[in-house]
Amino acid sequence: MLGLTWGAIGSGFFMYGKKMGRGMFLICGILLCVFPMFLSSDLWSLILGVTMTVLPFKLEL
């Protein structure tokens, strides 16, 4: 269920980043869509997902 959530947020970030030319949103969007395929731990999925969701708002690329 977490993978579906991160994928939906990642898709939104990707579309926003591509449309507005914001690199950090684009990169985090791609990573949010891909990383759940490689993790099996719910704890690490939650930690990385929240980090990549907040990161574009704190850093500018």
Neighbours of 15 (CB within 10 A): 13
Helix axes 42-58, 2-20, angle to 10 degrees: 20
Per-residue pLDDT in tens (0 to 9) along the chain, 61 residues:
889 999 999 999 999 999 999 999 999 999 999 999 999 899 999 999 999 999 999 998 7
What does the domain layout of the chain look like in residue ranges? 2-56
* Number of alpha carbons in the 13 Å side-chain half-sphere of residue 41: 4
User: What values do phi and psi take at 40, rounded to 5?
Assistant: -110, -15
